[in-house]
Structure 1
Amino acid sequence: MTTKLSVGKMIINGKPRDSRDGQFGDVLNPTTNEVLDRVPLATAEDVEEALDVARAGFRVWANTPTHERYDILVRFAGLLEKHKSELAEILTLENGKPYFQSEAEVETGVRLFKGFAEKSKSLYGITAPLDAQAGLEKDIFMTRREPIGVMGAILPFNFPIDLFSHKVAPALAAGNAVVVKPAMEAPLTIIRIVELLHEAGVPGSVMQVVTGRGSVVGEILASSPKVNIVSMTGDTQTGIRVAQNAAKHLSRTFLELGGNDALVVFDDADIDEAVEHAAFGRTWANGQCCCANKRMIVQRSILDEFTHKLILKLKEYTVGNPMDPSTKVGPLISEKAAKTVKEQIDFTVGQGAEILFGGERLDNCFLTPTILGNVSKHTDVARDLEIFGPVLPVIAFSDDNEAIEIANNSIYGLSGSVFTKDIRRALNAAYKMETGQVAINGTGLYRPDVSQFGGYKQSGLGREGLSVTLEEMTQVKNIALRNVLY
């Protein structure tokens, strides 16, 4: 197994680069707290150079025939498949998620690049006769979709391949150039992926990766007039800052932000199924997922049974080295993250909650999955406190109206879940929940590739998915042919 990596360079114009001032940041393995690699801390001048290169690359890529871009992106998807084990190992080493989950993330990338490449071949405009409008009987009107320019993609640490693919695949398929900023905690997988994109045939001028601090790289990508599209996944406060900066030049903006998703379990639900999904959804990616079920809202009459079975289920989950096939839960991304989650658990206990299972800090960045009982609907965690770790607060409700009231009493609205055997009850709840997605008898983590994924309220702006993003990466040009008919 690899213990030390050496892929840590920015890539500008197809060439590996250090920063101008020679500054580096360490990338740690959260399982051991050992240094995996060092990556450059880009200067403002480095970012500006990458943007200048990308703007020149855009002019070339936008004029590359669709069939050539298609061939390159499909070739890249093949390289992802070929290098799946390598990429999954790098991701697990720098991110800490179990290896089987990293493999699944690579597979998602393969599907998305193939899917967006295929869809690019049918990115049609319209042609319309105008004889319905008096005086225009001899005219023809048509539209075409054209690429927009340079996209700045700002990625989080938790799903780098997945979110890179959701942003970059449609951008490239539509003919845009990209400058990507990976998270400093997990940049190595993205650097390697960009190398493979270049190997597949994407010109060096079209795809840049710039590593560094958000206060430098992210700030410039969001505020630069050289950037036409900003796509960012991260926390809500950072998203608001990005939106404010992007608005200065009216850059098209897509934000997938925080969530405190509700998982509602009604008294007629299959409790075993609900428990299975609650445990799975809250521990995937070690509990560090924006669209995970973070509030278990359970009808009072089945509260004890649900909680008892949830404890038994989490006892089956092995916490340990994420490279071990038996591990279900690995470390959090950093010791700071683990410390924060433990403080949030203790804070919630201080508001009257009770630790029913787990709640322990372990070595390095590890924390045991935690169940909190006796959680009032008035506590912070029942509303707006998003805990980014494997913590399951269980909140009781009496009737359907109270369940929806609790679920909606949050600044967030990313995703949600409803468990019941009554389809009318399920749809009634789904229609009333203020979220961008509701999974009935499934975890909110459910995200098929075609989903128009995104949030209500302070959970984001815009949507991502195979069914919508390619069009969003284009702009519509109207063309009128005057007096051509007779």
Structure 2
Amino acid sequence: MTNDHHARLARYFPTVDEIPPEHGLAAPVHQRGYLIGGKILEWDGPCKTVRSPVCTRDATTGDVSQVEIGSYPLMGEVQSDAALDAAVAAYDNGRGQWPTMTVAGRIACMQTFVKGMVERRQAIVNLLMWEIGKSLADSRKEFDRTIEYIQATIEALKDLENDHSRFMVVEGTIGQVRRTPLGVVLCMGPYNYPLNETFCTLIPALLMGNTVVLKPPQYGTLLFEPLLEVFRDAFPPGVVNTIHAPGELVVPRMLASGKISVLALIGSSRVADHLKKQHPKSHRLRAVLGLDAKNAAIVLPDADLDLAVKECLLGALSFNGQRCTALKMLIVHSSVVDAFLERFTAELARLKMGMPWEAGVHITPLPGPHRTAYMTEAIEDAVAKGARVVNEGGGAFCSTLFDPAVVYPVREGMKLYREEQFGPVVPVMSFDAVDEALDYVITSDHGQQVSVFGTDAAQIGALVDPLVNQVCRVNLNCQCQRGPDVFPFAGRKDSAEGTLSVSDALRAFSIRSMVAAKLTEPNKALLNTIVREHQSKFINTDFIF
């Protein structure tokens, strides 16, 4: 990388005076509160300084440095034990206020939470932007989509509950089946979607009657600070508890206690494997996991190249490629690979680079220099083994800002061939026979999604049949993606455990339980009395509107 490239990228960073007042942080957020047992406690111990992906530039020297935007508590085992014990006490072996509350009651609490969350939209959006470098437009989208997800989950729960608001009579047995909670959930979300992905497990876990220990991600922690009071006021004491501590210190300990019933983790398969082994009775631990992915795009020789380029560009580089559903390997037929690369790099050059608050910005700073260091290492490894960066300036960086790099041809043995790069590097390989592209997916350790671009119905049909047995979603002539949220979101192999969607997540955090009795007159009278006099919250025929 030349000094010219470094200086060019440095100019994208603002001086302190150039930060728009309406998008700046009024003051650093020094979080000292944490929620345990329904109380926001004050922390007076060591704290972790939070540095933004956004840097400021010294107008005189041109030097850049990350902006310090606040700090949060750096807790330990004592606090994690207290958070876990509070969740255990609130669950109380299924006898607590929350797990025995009616579904309508839990929904009412969640609606209270949503109201308080919406009131804090601006603060949370601003922290999303400053903490992880997500564009203002995408930060707003993440917040709004999360609210929509909560409301959709509530509606799905109403449908689920209403479907069970009657008795079944089968072979002389009266039964009523409902979904019931599992216990204490340890919920850990990722830094790339710290609000949305965390809530995609947290919200269904709560609505189904579980209690929760919430550990925010390392990047994207401060944005939960405005929600502490909302959690406290919306839910009974101990239902939601927060812990800010190094994961390697406290998470294995919590699992080793045997008190965790569900591990909800969006992270790496390596971490998930390690954590699951810590539970003393791993068969009792339900895991809901969103893990690694190396989604491929297969561009067939008859593909509409303009469409393929547009979708692959968005798929590979939306939020700098920091999405588990991102396209992380482009597999292009040799007859069109040169034309594809020419169009792709031309469109890439048009993407706007800049700060998160800028209108139309596409490439923004990464969480820290360690990410640019990894991208550089992966590119250098590929180049040393015969690949090249095909776009001008690709791979150049300045502190946290990294110029996207298109690397071709990528082959077996290079880091970029199998590793999930999770950043703005686009590996491209070519193929002659379609079986070569299919073999890449088959031999991958990952199995989340794939995109296929082409127009020949016979060829695409023949590809779809084996691909759906390797991944959980095949996207035709479009990028890989999670939504709409009513669709199942899952993965095979190392990519996931369990299925998330609006309705699937409710099932993931619950189990079917039933009450049964012989069809006799005394039992019919008993059940009718229980229902009529509202003697049970489980045995009822109420309809939730």
TM-score tier (shorter)? over 0.9
Q: Is contact 1:31-1:364 (8 Å) kept?
A: no
For residues 285 and 398 of structure 2, the distance between their equivalents in structure 1, rounded to whole angstroms, comes to 44
Q: 1:363 aligns with which of 384, 398, 402?
A: 398
Partner AA of 1:450 in structure 2:
V
Q: 1:40 aligns with which of 62, 73, 89?
A: 73
Q: 2:50 aligns with which of 27, 49, 54?
A: 27
How big is the shift at 1:446?
Answer: 4.0
Instruction: Deviation per CA, 1:128-152: give whole Å up to 9, x if none.
Output: 4332xxxxx3x32332221111110
How big is the shift at 1:437?
Answer: 1.8
Q: Is contact 2:53-2:365 (8 Å) kept?
A: yes
Instruction: Deviation per CA, 1:69-99: give whole Å up to 9, x if none.
Output: 2122233334444433321110110111111
Which residue does 1:324 correspond to in 2? Answer: 358
Q: Is contact 1:191-1:209 (8 Å) kept?
A: no
Which residue does 2:534 correspond to in 1? Answer: none
Which residue does 1:381 correspond to in 2? Answer: 416
Instruction: Deviation per CA, 1:299-323: give whole Å up to 9, x if none.
Output: 1111111111110111111222112
Partner AA of 1:368 in structure 2:
D
* Aligned residues: CA RMSD: 2.0
Q: How does 1:172-321 map to 2 (within 5 A)?
A: 172-199=206-233, 201-246=234-279, 248-249=281-282, 250-321=284-355
Gaps of 5+ in 2: 1-23, 56-65, 523-545
Number of residue pairs matched by the alignment: 477
Partner AA of 2:404 in structure 1:
P
For residues 26 and 407 of structure 1, the distance between their equivalents in structure 2, rounded to whole angstroms, comes to 41
Which residue does 2:20 correspond to in 1? Answer: none
2:123 aligned counterpart, secondary structure: helix
In the alignment, does 2:504 pair up with 1:452? Answer: no
Partner AA of 1:210 in structure 2:
I
Q: 1:129 aligns with which of 141, 165, 169?
A: 169
1:376 aligned counterpart, secondary structure: coil
Which residue does 1:56 correspond to in 2? Answer: 89
Partner AA of 1:103 in structure 2:
R
Partner AA of 1:459 in structure 2:
S
Q: Is contact 1:338-1:366 (8 Å) kept?
A: yes
Q: Is contact 2:186-2:263 (8 Å) kept?
A: yes
Q: 1:103 aligns with which of 133, 140, 144?
A: 140
For residues 213 and 359 of structure 2, the distance between their equivalents in structure 1, rounded to whole angstroms, comes to 35
How big is the shift at 1:462?
Answer: 0.9
How big is the shift at 1:8?
Answer: 5.0
Q: Is contact 2:34-2:42 (8 Å) kept?
A: yes
Instruction: Deviation per CA, 1:12-36: give whole Å up to 9, x if none.
Output: 234333557x121121101122221
For residues 451 and 229 of structure 2, the distance between their equivalents in structure 1, rounded to whole angstroms, comes to 39
1:203 aligned counterpart, secondary structure: coil
For residues 42 and 387 of structure 2, the distance between their equivalents in structure 1, rounded to whole angstroms, comes to 49
Instruction: Deviation per CA, 1:150-179: give whole Å up to 9, x if none.
Output: 110011211111112210111111111111
Gaps of 5+ in 1: 132-136
2:30 aligned counterpart, secondary structure: coil
1:431 aligned counterpart, secondary structure: helix
For residues 213 and 430 of structure 1, the distance between their equivalents in structure 2, rounded to whole angstroms, comes to 43
Q: 1:6 aligns with which of 21, 30, 37?
A: 30
Partner AA of 1:184 in structure 2:
Q
2:312 aligned counterpart, secondary structure: helix
Partner AA of 2:175 in structure 1:
F
How big is the shift at 1:104?
Answer: 0.9
TM-score, normalised on structure 2?
0.83
How big is the shift at 1:127?
Answer: 4.1
2:126 aligned counterpart, secondary structure: helix
1:100 aligned counterpart, secondary structure: helix
For residues 259 and 18 of structure 1, the distance between their equivalents in structure 2, rounded to whole angstroms, comes to 39
Q: Is contact 1:47-1:217 (8 Å) kept?
A: yes
Which residue does 2:179 correspond to in 1? Answer: 145
Partner AA of 1:224 in structure 2:
S
Q: Is contact 2:482-2:489 (8 Å) kept?
A: no
Percent same amino acid among aligned pairs?
Answer: 25
How big is the shift at 1:436?
Answer: 2.0
Structure exhibiting the larger radius of gyration computed from Cα positions: 2
For residues 195 and 284 of structure 1, the distance between their equivalents in structure 2, rounded to whole angstroms, comes to 33
